[in-house]
Amino acid sequence: MRPDLELDQALSAAISGIPKIAELIALISAEDQPRALAAAEKSYLETARSLGCEEADAHEWVSEIMVRLRVLIANTSV
């Protein structure tokens, strides 16, 4: 399999788990959510790096993921 296809599949798998992560973080107290979000962000960044993403690409991808995650949490918490 081509490395870029493997990367796309791995990143897609990480993206598919976002709704579940949002649900779990939404269950955490509001005061602990920032720490949970920071942990999620760190984990996504480590995943992107371990898959061979360039640093700038990894940060851009994680930034987009975190926006999506925050929106889902806000919608779940309502």
Q: In whole angstroms, give the CA distance from residue 26 to residue 5.
A: 32
Tell me the mean pLDDT in the region 35-40. 97
Residue whose token pair is 């493997």: 6
Domain span including residue 66: 3-77
Alpha carbons 59 and 31: distance in angstroms, whole number: 25
pLDDT in tens, 39-56: 999 999 999 999 888 999
Tell me which of 9 and 31 has the higher pLDDT. Answer: 31
Q: What is the pLDDT of residues 10-30, one digit of tens each?
A: 888 888 999 999 999 999 999
Predicted local confidence at residue 54, as pLDDT: 92
Tally the residues of the chain: 78
Q: How many domains does the chain have?
A: 1
Q: How sure is the predictor about 77, in pLDDT bands with cuts at 50, 70 and 90?
A: low
Answer for the pair 71, 49: CB distance below 8 angstroms, yes or no.
no
